[in-house]
Chains A and B, each alone.
Chain A
């Protein structure tokens, strides 16, 4: 990756992360590492039935066992547990069913908590779970979305299986499809995924009688605090939430979970600290899942490949309940199916469906990977239909760089981008023409190992989000972010951010921003976060928003501090503020040698011996930032796969990614995000799938059955960037947390399908397992023989 950096500036430097020495040497503080005097341990008994009426729960057998302090059923919490929140009622017709943290009368997915034991240690709690008796009266499982919507389907909830429906129109869709020379009509399945963050969830709740402290492996301490207050009725000012070190989330910790609520309630009931930590298998069952959509997509085009219109109809599996942003996930993709392409008309429809499975919710990319997959797959199908190169059909349709800012058919305004530049760079790095020649040769020879080339020219909307737009989308909160900066007496800098890093490296990146803005050394900056008593205001971390919004809030706070410092410097140096120039961390009187450094001014503010009138004894400030628009990273990803047509095995041979994430604060962190993102997208393309059996039991409860790719399964990635600065924030940054995941899945699947086109194959369902590939090839060959 080429690294461009301005001399003397921290922003743009590939700084190693400040966080890593501590994390890599085991001095981290995960929630499960925390201990409180007298701490008790809770374990949950979970439903083995996908759908059943609970007719009896008897916890008395557990109560007398050694070490057991308490045992509870849903009935014991019924009066106080409230309903887990859904903050995104996306439509007028939405049905938000009651969602008790512990099931009281009915269970609706395997893994739903029905009882729990609190004991002096985890082993005794686990033993005592086996002494709890639960009687279930089975009800029919509801597993298939299409069947769930039929009139005679059993119901997940009394009100029926439809959660909501949405329709969006732009342009004359009928005209676009009428007499269109080419119509591509495809149905894709976005399989259900399990987020699998490295650190499983954990919660510790404690009380001193008046106030409650909840430590949780969460991405959203601030949202969690207000939601815990809403759900339990405990006044917000009596709840403090702390997210200690958090080991990854990928959206799965953007949630208000049953276990968080119940641990808090048990701490209140027992007056003691209560801790819960999940196992990996428990997590696979009960951490919200991702994706799970059936996408019907139709594209009308002219004979030269120009897109006339696009019609999208989604079925989105909500699972059994609507959790924090469950219904909003498919809606985050609603404006992205048209992607980087110009067209005359667009229609989007989505129906949310209840099933007796674990609820779905945000998973890295959240709605946008699904949309990007469908459009990028269909663009390849259009190219195949026209016998045109897939890059050429994209070129004919994409927004040209001179057309920015560009308002798309779905109504978003893309502020900046250069699809031509990213694509040119990517094809050169990839050796596109040479690989196409090799592919032709292998096809001619009938080589059992066929080469496929996959393209993904993606964009995404990042930086969630402008509060005004969230309001228009019916989201219950805003999208601003808060930052505070204070010069300590000795000239060091303490930064407080409302974002809640869980692996992103905010401490490092924010230090770089502050070092430039205040002219202080990178090493002199510390960043506090994740504790609502310290970082008192925030909207937390998800949706590639932290740098784009939170980083800018910190920058704005720095600017305010600098303005205060300027007044102070002018007073001390006995000049007008306008005579001062700020350079390398000092205010200099223009044309003289006189200056005051930020450190000297910090001390002056601290001693307050000589402050000008109206200036307080503080060199600190804070700011909130609320962007005017989303940001729109984009890029071109190219993937070459070798498909062994005898076994069906897909091997990625090379992968090139040229991403445009605007200005870059730390290229190392960006590279890491892109690497991890690509790997996760490849996971969806080739490996991962949450599988339920016909009774609604999750079969993929361990990592032996839910396959995650490791470094050994992935090729080296060749990365580069182009840089089209965002215009919606002063740093020109766009966010990079999700780009790799959004881009890579279609690139890989397009490559697999491309390898198999000579067999007449035009789709392989995800994940493209060797067995699926082999079956497709076998069927195609049998078809030829017949």
Chain B
């Protein structure tokens, strides 16, 4: 299909961009366009104005900020997956970024765009949630920090307010003793995750001291598998891990679509959580 008519602006500054967005509630931010343009082409979205944030320097790059990594909203997936700063400071993000769609999309699609789109089937939301990332939003009123747990509101809905633009995300560095794994279950290489599991596991003296598990596509927002996280604490590697991971789908409300029914997604969440935790914990 062919998109309906829209206006296009390419602001030179964040404040200008934010003004346009604040003054027109039908305006939409255009980042890499990998989610928005298909919606336009199918006439599923009719924005009045596209605000192209591609030239704003504040949104670019990946920065080592000591205790955290700051990933600019306009960093592409390809940039993120190859960044030494990301690979050293928050390897789980690099792992998941490498699973996003295909190389062409990874070169265009952006880290911030993918998160602000708030698609629970996207690979990155669950990862940022598991790592307790902090979203940095900018507007005419200044800067606001939103914890990941408060950022995702519903299907394709974030807590960004009118006029707010996602500038980037702070990912805390976890330090020594952690292992990571992102398990993505999908039918073809380019397809969305039917279910994804992001796991960060810390071990000390053989036992798990902390586990953080983010779930992709198991509800209207990315979710944490809290019950399993708790059950894993203090556990040694072995058969009991599977038992702890049986709780992985607790309190989820997975969707039904052409690729999977909810009961199958719950089953997958359990199996994949077990696999992700085992791998993250360094099990043979």
Contacts and interface: CB of A to CB of B under 8 A. Distances in A.
A708 B188 contact: yes
Nearest to B1: A279
Interface string A237-252: 0000000000000000
Contact of B260 (A126, A282, A771): A771
Interface string A748-780: 000000000000000000000111001100000
A700 B264 CA distance: 20
Contact of B259 (A43, A702, A708, A771): A771
Interface string B150-189: 0000000000000000000000000000000000010111
Interface SS majority for chain B: loop
A704 interface: yes
A123 B5 contact: yes
B140 interface: no
Residue among B3, B43, B258 with the highest chain A CB neighbour number at 10 A: B258
A509 B54 CA distance: 49
Interface string A692-721: 000000011010110111101100000000
Interface in A15-65: 43
Given A123-B2, A123-B5, A770 B188 contact: no
Contact of B4 (A127, A279, A704): A127
A127 B267 contact: no
B264 A774 contact: yes
Interface in B135-155: none
A699 B188 contact: no
A93 interface: no
A775 B185 contact: no
A447 interface: no
Contacts of A691: 258
A707 B191 contact: yes
A713 B261 CA distance: 23
Nearest to A686: B187
A709 B188 contact: yes
Given A281-B42, A775-B264, A647 B271 contact: yes
Contacts of B190: 710, 712
Contacts of B187: 687, 707, 769-770
A706 to B, nearest CB: 9
Contacts of B111: none
B70 interface: no
Contacts of A771: 259-261, 264
A705 B258 contact: yes
B130 to A, nearest CB: 21
Contacts of A705: 258
Contact of A700 (B2, B102, B258): B258
A647 B185 contact: yes
Contacts of A708: 188
A646 interface: yes
B268 interface: yes
Contacts of A709: 188
A699 B4 CA distance: 23
Given A710-B188, A713-B188, A770-B187, A126 B2 contact: yes
A126 B1 contact: yes
A126 B4 CA distance: 8
Contacts of B258: 691, 699-700, 705
Given A126-B1, A771-B264, A774-B264, A646 B271 contact: yes
A705 B190 CA distance: 11
Interface in A422-469: none
B196 to A, nearest CB: 13
Nearest to A650: B187
B188 A647 contact: no
A322 interface: no
B8 to A, nearest CB: 14
Contacts of A774: 264, 267
A497 to B, nearest CB: 36
Contacts, number: 60
Contacts of B261: 771
B188 A707 contact: yes
A647 B270 CA distance: 10
Nearest to A648: B264
Contacts of B268: 647
A649 interface: yes
A122 interface: yes
Contacts of B272: 647
Contacts of A126: 1-2, 4, 43
Contacts of B2: 43, 122-123, 126, 279
Nearest to A774: B264
Nearest to A127: B4
Interface in B7-66: 38, 41-43
A687 B188 contact: yes
A525 B14 CA distance: 61
Contacts of B189: 710, 712-713
Nearest to B189: A712
A699 B259 CA distance: 12
B260 A649 contact: no
Contacts of B43: 126
A770 B260 CA distance: 9
Contacts of B5: 123, 127
Given A281-B1, A705-B258, A771-B264, A649 B185 contact: yes
Contacts of B267: 774
Contacts of B259: 769, 771
Contacts of A702: 38, 42
A712 B98 CA distance: 14
Interface string A99-140: 000000000000000000000001100110000000000000
Nearest to A709: B188
Contacts of A769: 187, 259
A285 to B, nearest CB: 12
A252 to B, nearest CB: 20
A97 B38 CA distance: 38
A374 to B, nearest CB: 25
Nearest to A775: B264
Contacts of B41: 279
Interface string A273-294: 0000001011000000000000
Nearest to B185: A647
Nearest to B191: A707
Contacts of A647: 185, 268, 271-272
A687 B259 CA distance: 10
Residue among A647, A699, A700, A713 with the highest chain B CB neighbour number at 10 A: A647
Contacts of B102: 710, 712
A774 B185 CA distance: 13
Contacts of A710: 102, 188-190
Residue among A122, A279, A707 with the highest chain B CB neighbour number at 10 A: A707
Nearest to A713: B188
A545 B83 CA distance: 53
A281 B41 CA distance: 10
8 contacts: A123-B5, A281-B42, A702-B38, A709-B188, A712-B189, A770-B194, A771-B259, A774-B264
Please give me the 8 A-B residue pairs with the lowest Cβ-Cβ distance, nearest first: A712-B189, A126-B2, A771-B264, A713-B188, A646-B271, A279-B1, A707-B188, A123-B2
Interface of A: 43, 122-123, 126-127, 279, 281-282, 646-647, 649, 687, 691, 699-700, 702, 704-705, 707-710, 712-713, 769-771, 774-775
Given A127-B4, A647-B268, 6 more contacts: A123-B3, A279-B41, A647-B272, A649-B185, A691-B258, A709-B188
